[in-house]
Amino acid sequence: MNTSQSAAEWWAINGAITFEGIGLIAFALSGLIEAARKKLDFVGMALVAALTAFGGGTLRDILLDRRPFFWVQNVNWIYVILVLCVLAMIFMRSRHLEFTERAILWPDAIGLGIFTAGGTQIALAANVPAIVAVILGVLSAVFGGVLRDIVVNEIPRAFSDHQPYSVVAFAGAWLVLLGDALSWPGLVSVAVSAFAIVALRMTAVYLEWRLPEWKV
């Protein structure tokens, strides 16, 4: 009984860290690819990767007045992203890859799903109203990518993609609240919500769903 409880806790803690790590790496990769496409130098690539990975979660922590920040509490994430940048650069230089505009779609979708679900869960734990939890979840996923696009001087994908992006995150975040209402374990709610967001986003991309545009 005691062991099974410990096992559940072990899964809850390590599952959450694993999720966070996958989300961070996915967003960092999307930043690296975007920076490479813009021909930034190596330091610029690392900075854009770090901004994309850490930006959204930091905004979430500021808005929730949550200190220390997740990257101060767990300093290792900083080193993980640093090592990732170095590896990616070595790899990229040896292969002379050319990135199409579509190359960032997968890492971007995975980051979107994990950060939306995780952010909503963290905001819920801070006892904010449901709609605020959902908005903070979406913000923590979207803001890193918005920063990435702003610093490379583009209109952010989250605003102008013409394919469902933020709206998918907004819809999927409610699954975390559903799971919470049904007393699912936190990790399960987050996993279901994250998976639904990634699946929906990539379906939207492959089936080329388009949002209506303002016509003049």
Site of interaction with its own copies (CB under 8 A): 35-36, 38-45, 47-48, 58, 62-63, 65, 67-69, 71-72, 75, 78-79, 89, 92-93, 96-98, 128-129, 131-132, 135, 146, 150-156, 158-162, 164-167, 210-216
Cβ nearer to its own copies, comparing 16 with 128: 128
Q: For 125-138, b where at least 16 C-beta lie within 10 A, e where not — what string?
A: eeeeebebbbbbbb
Specify the residue, 10 or 99, whose C-beta has the smaller distance to its own copies.
99
Report, in Å, the least distance between residue 101 CB and its own copies. 14
In the complex, minimum distance from the CB of residue 185 to its own copies, in angstroms, rounded to a whole number: 27
For residue 215, give both structure tokens: 């016509």
Shortest Cβ 171–its own copies spacing (Å): 11
> Cβ–Cβ contacts within 10 Å for residue 169, how many?
29
Helix/strand/coil for 185: coil
What whole-number distance in Å separates Cα of residue 99 and Cα of residue 125? Answer: 39
CB of 118 to its own copies, least distance (A): 20
Nearer of residues 18 and 160 to its own copies, judged by Cβ: 160
Residue 66 region by backbone torsions, left for phi larger than 0, else alpha for psi between -120 and 50, else beta: beta
* DSSP 8-state class, residue 142: H
Minimum CB–partner distance for residue 216 and its own copies (Å)? 5
Main-chain dihedrals φ then ψ at residue 182, nearest 5 degrees: -90, 10
Residue 1 or residue 43: which is nearer to its own copies going by CB?
43
CB closer to its own copies out of 7 and 210: 210
Question: 151, 48 in Cβ contact below 8 A?
Answer: yes
